[in-house]
């Protein structure tokens, strides 16, 4: 394990006590910690045994920095189609930052407000890897894939209703993207996108 490299807990389905015990053990080892899918009650238990723990309410993550983190110079762009996709994007962003990556957030630039995307073109094309987070029809991934020549990691979200079928519409849309250079993560899997973007950004 490299210095400062965090250990990860998937908190969903664990009891608050179990989460706190795992954090405790990791802190005892001096590790940095990432906890995903954590609720307020889990955080309360963690906070009791570790004062430095931070809770990111929007993306339901707990992080602990027990060691300094070296940051990359190259950066990852994390973009969203709408504001409702931000929690998933933040899961990706916090994960990538805890793994030592510089992150640029470019939020709410989907087809409903596509002019905002064009204002951000410079920062987007300067990235080493792009994460596109979008629900409903998920067109953002295709649009970004068509505009940039860097790898695009597409994250469908469960945002939407009716025939979005819990993210299935965005998922299929992204898998069928006509723009080359795109690969797809599971629905709402911001963590996985941040993790893989970090792998690529550090090559």
What residue ranges bind its own copies (CB under 8 A)? 8, 12-14, 81-84, 110-114, 128, 136-139, 142-143, 145-147, 149-151, 153, 156, 158-189, 191-193, 195-196, 199-200, 203
Is the separation of the CB atoms in 106 and 77 below 8 Å? yes
Question: Does residue 10 touch ligand AMP according to CB under 6 A?
Answer: yes
In the three-class reduction of DSSP (H, G, I as helix; E, B as strand; rest coil), residue 23 is classed as helix
Sole binder of Mg ion in the list 110, 145, 160, 190 (CB under 5 A): 145
Q: Output the smallest distance, CB 64 to Mg ion, in A.
A: 23
Q: Output the smallest distance, CB 61 to ligand AMP, in A.
A: 9
Instruction: For its own copies, give the closer residue by CB, 2 or 51.
Output: 2
* Only segment of 2-10, 73-81, 114-122, 145-153 that touches ligand AMP (CB under 6 A): 2-10
Bridge partners, residue 155, by sequence: 133
3-state DSSP helix/strand/coil percent for the chain, to nearest 5? 40, 20, 40
User: What is the number of other CB atoms lying within 10 angstroms of the CB of residue 176?
Assistant: 11
Question: Does residue 5 touch ligand AMP according to CB under 6 A?
Answer: no
Q: How far apart are CA 174 and CA 113, in angstroms?
A: 19
* Only segment of 45-53, 118-126, 165-173, 184-192 that touches ligand AMP (CB under 6 A): 184-192
Question: Does residue 180 touch ligand AMP according to CB under 6 A?
Answer: yes
User: What is the number of other CB atoms lying within 10 angstroms of the CB of residue 72?
Assistant: 16
Is the separation of the CB atoms in 123 and 94 below 8 Å? no
Give the DSSP H/E element, type plus range, for residue 58: none
Give strand ranges (E) for 84-161.
Answer: 102-106, 129-134, 152-156
User: What is the number of other CB atoms lying within 10 angstroms of the CB of residue 2?
Assistant: 6
Q: Output the smallest distance, CB 192 to ligand AMP, in A.
A: 5
Instruction: For ligand AMP, give the closer residue by CB, 11 or 103.
Output: 11
Q: How far apart are CA 59 and CA 38, in angstroms?
A: 9
Sole binder of Mg ion in the list 181, 183, 192, 200 (CB under 5 A): 181
Q: Output the smallest distance, CB 144 to Mg ion, in A.
A: 7
Q: By CB under 6 A, name the binding residues for ligand AMP.
A: 8-10, 36-37, 82-83, 112, 180, 189, 191-192
Q: Which residues bind Mg ion (CB under 5 A)?
A: 145, 181
């Amino acid at each position: 394990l490299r210095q400062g490299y965090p250990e990860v807990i998937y908190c969903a389905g664990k009891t608050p006590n179990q989460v706190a015990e795992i954090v405790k053990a990791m802190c005892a080892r001096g590790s940095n910690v990432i906890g995903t899918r954590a609720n307020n009650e889990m955080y309360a238990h963690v906070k009791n045994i570790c004062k430095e723990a931070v809770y990111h309410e929007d993306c339901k993550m707990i992080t602990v920095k027990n060691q300094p983190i070296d940051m990359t110079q190259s950066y990852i762009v994390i973009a969203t189609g709408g504001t409702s996709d931000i929690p998933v994007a933040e899961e990706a962003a916090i994960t990538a930052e805890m793994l030592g990556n510089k992150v640029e957030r470019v939020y709410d630039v989907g087809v409903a407000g596509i002019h905002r995307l064009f204002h951000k073109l410079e920062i987007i094309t300067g990235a080493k890897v792009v994460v596109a987070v979008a629900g409903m029809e998920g067109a953002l991934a295709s649009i970004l894939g068509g505009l940039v020549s860097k790898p695009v990691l597409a994250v469908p979200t469960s945002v939407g209703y009716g025939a979005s079928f819990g993210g299935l519409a965005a998922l299929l849309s992204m898998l069928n993207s006509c723009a080359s250079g795109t690969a797809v993560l599971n629905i709402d899997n911001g963590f996985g996108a941040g993790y893989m973007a970090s792998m690529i950004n550090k090559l």
